[in-house]
């Protein structure tokens, strides 16, 4: 039997997305028991994590299984390129690591969101895709520069819990300032999932912070096919008006992807791209969402993050529930 990976929200049909969210909602109310007794999830973190790591560990333990976590310090430097002559720094090929790990664990998670080269290079998700190619067990994307599908599942569950039906509801996905260059993964995944749910999506960012062109086109098609809409605006006040969900997130500049200093320079004039009480007042009493971690009083003020419409901790809490549902489906 062939294995099933979860590398992108594009791996799910609308029906599968609905089923996964239904299952997550069911098991949130009623624990399913030790259905993954004896199963192991290996997680490879090439960047730091708080929520992803702990929520997956909690999910596995509550289902009767367990996790083995490795960070870059525990791993040999890896070579992901096919047919590489390995006379450089890399000590081990991903194919050997993936095939070996598949003998020990029942599923693998990979977080690989470093900036390694140009956008054209990094958008290929070489490390994640190599693990998926060579592992004989399911591989889960724990965030790359292209996607963070587990976060988007938790976001969708959180929106459903608060708005019930998502079709036609107005979501504004707003770029926020941040001193560091950030991955586009969470942005792409929530964009695709909101489009799949038929939401009326406004993507708002300053000029120069466009998302990946292919992801944008796919999201527009998904929105159209599911009775929703997707528009892009470059003005935050216009974007906030009438929003029922304001989803704040920073992401990096694709044009200057391999030049952090240039990106930092561009962002110096964009400090007003922040969610504050005045911006929230323009919305239709919107829920405030952010995948965390958040730079307080840079991306969003304390007042809105701790305000009555903030659901940032519900999003984080729902990571455990959606990931339990995902693990049950991948490992059943
Ligand atoms: N949102 C999220 O993935 O958080 P971590 O980086 O802490 O895992």
Q: What is the pLDDT of residue 128?
A: 97
Q: What is the pLDDT of residue 40?
A: 98
CB of residue 321 inside a 6 A radius of ligand 1? no
Q: Say if residue 35 is in the same domain as residue 70.
A: yes
- The 10s digit of each residue's pLDDT in 28-42 is 988 889 999 999 999
Ligand 1 atom with least separation from CA of 111:
8
Mutation choice for ligand 1 from 45, 48, 50, CB with most ligand atoms inside 8 A = 50
Bridge pairing between strands 229-233 and 170-175? unpaired
Work out the number of other CB atoms within 10 angstroms of the CB of residue 83: 5
Q: Domain count of the chain?
A: 2
CB of residue 292 inside a 6 A radius of ligand 1? yes
Instruction: Write out 118-152 in H/E/C secondary structure.
Output: CHHHHCCCHHHHHHHHHCCCCEEEEEECCCCHHHH
Q: Say if residue 15 is in the same domain as residue 131.
A: yes
Q: What is the pLDDT of residue 30?
A: 86
Q: What is the pLDDT of residue 193?
A: 98
Our CA angle for 140, 151, 223, nearest 5°, is 100
Q: What is the pLDDT of residue 306?
A: 98
Determine, yes or no, domain membership for 263: yes
302-307 LR contacts (CB < 8 Å, sep 24+): 303/276, 303/277, 304/275, 304/276, 304/277, 304/280, 307/277, 307/280
Percent of the chain with pLDDT over 90: 97
Q: Say if residue 228 is in the same domain as residue 108.
A: no
- The residue whose CA is least distant from atom 7 of ligand 1 is 50
State the greatest distance between any 2 C-alpha atoms of the chain, in Å, as a whole number.
59
The Cα 307–Cα 300 span in angstroms is 11
Model-level pTM? 0.97
Q: What is the pLDDT of residue 332?
A: 83
Distances in Å between the Cα of 139 and the Cα atoms of 110, 181, 192, 243, 273 are: 7, 26, 20, 35, 36
Determine, yes or no, domain membership for 1: no
CB of residue 52 inside a 6 A radius of ligand 1? yes
CB of residue 318 inside a 6 A radius of ligand 1? no
Tokens 């791996």, residue located: 11
Q: What is the mean pLDDT of residues 198-225?
A: 98
Distance in Å, CA 225 to ligand 1 centroid? 30
Q: What is the mean pLDDT of residues 270-299?
A: 98
CB-CB contact of 280 with 309 (8 Å): yes
pLDDT greater than 60 at residue 90: yes
Confidence of residue 174 (pLDDT cuts 50, 70, 90): very high
CATH of the domain at 273: 3.40.50.1370
- The 10s digit of each residue's pLDDT in 124-133 is 999 999 999 9
Q: Say if residue 128 is in the same domain as residue 211.
A: no
Distance in Å, CA 53 to ligand 1 centroid? 8
Confidence of residue 228 (pLDDT cuts 50, 70, 90): very high
Distance in Å, CA 51 to ligand 1 centroid? 5
Q: What is the pLDDT of residue 156?
A: 98
Ligand 1 atom with least separation from CA of 291:
1
Q: Say if residue 178 is in the same domain as residue 125.
A: no
Distances in Å between the Cα of 278 and the Cα atoms of 4, 209, 219, 283, 300 are: 45, 23, 29, 9, 11
Q: What is the mean pLDDT of residues 70-85?
A: 93
The Cα 161–Cα 173 span in angstroms is 19
The Cα 174–Cα 115 span in angstroms is 22
Q: Say if residue 110 is in the same domain as residue 56.
A: yes
- The 10s digit of each residue's pLDDT in 10-31 is 999 999 999 999 999 999 988 8
Closest residue by Cα to residue 107 from 81, 74, 140: 140
Determine, yes or no, domain membership for 246: yes
Domain that holds residue 279: 151-315
- The 10s digit of each residue's pLDDT in 308-324 is 999 999 999 999 999 99
Q: What is the mean pLDDT of residues 62-83?
A: 94
Ligand 1 atom with least separation from CA of 55:
8
Q: What is the pLDDT of residue 29?
A: 86
Beta pairing partners, 194: none
The Cα 40–Cα 15 span in angstroms is 28
Tokens 């998700």, residue located: 125
Q: What is the mean pLDDT of residues 128-148?
A: 98
Distance in Å, CA 151 to ligand 1 centroid? 8
pLDDT greater than 60 at residue 1: no
């Amino acid at each position: 039997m062939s294995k099933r990976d979860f590398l992108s929200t594009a791996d799910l049909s609308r029906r599968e997305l609905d089923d996964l969210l239904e299952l997550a909602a069911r098991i949130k109310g009623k624990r399913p028991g030790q259905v993954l007794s004896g199963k192991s999830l290996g997680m490879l973190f090439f960047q730091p994590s708080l929520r992803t790591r702990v929520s997956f560990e909690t999910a596995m333990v509550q289902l009767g299984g367990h996790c083995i976590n490795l960070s870059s310090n525990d791993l040999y430097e890896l070579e992901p390129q096919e047919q590489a002559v390995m006379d450089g720094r890399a000590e081990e090929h991903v194919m050997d690591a993936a095939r070996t790990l598949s003998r020990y664990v029942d599923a693998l998670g990979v977080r690989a969101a470093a900036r390694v080269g140009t956008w054209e290079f990094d958008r290929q998700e070489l490390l994640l895709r190599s693990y998926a190619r060579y592992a004989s067990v399911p591989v889960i994307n724990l965030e790359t520069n292209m996607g963070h599908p587990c976060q988007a599942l938790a976001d969708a569950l959180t929106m459903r819990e608060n708005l019930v039906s998502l079709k036609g509801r107005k979501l504004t996905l707003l770029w926020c300032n941040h001193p560091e260059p950030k991955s586009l993964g969470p942005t792409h995944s929530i964009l695709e999932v909101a489009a799949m749910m038929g939401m009326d999506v406004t993507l708002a960012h300053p000029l120069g912070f466009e998302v990946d062109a292919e992801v944008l086109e796919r999201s527009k098609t998904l929105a159209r096919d599911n009775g929703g809409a997707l528009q892009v605006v470059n003005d935050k006040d216009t974007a906030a008006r009438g929003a029922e969900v304001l989803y704040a997130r920073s992401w990096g500049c694709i044009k200057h992807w391999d030049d952090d200093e240039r990106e930092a320079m561009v962002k110096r004039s964009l400090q007003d791209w922040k969610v504050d009480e005045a911006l929230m007042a323009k919305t239709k009493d919107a829920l405030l969402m952010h995948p965390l971690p958040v730079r307080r009083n840079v991306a969003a003020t304390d007042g809105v993050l701790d305000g009555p419409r903030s659901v940032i901790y519900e999003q984080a809490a729902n990571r455990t529930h959606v990931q339990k549902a995902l693990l049950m489906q991948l490992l059943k």
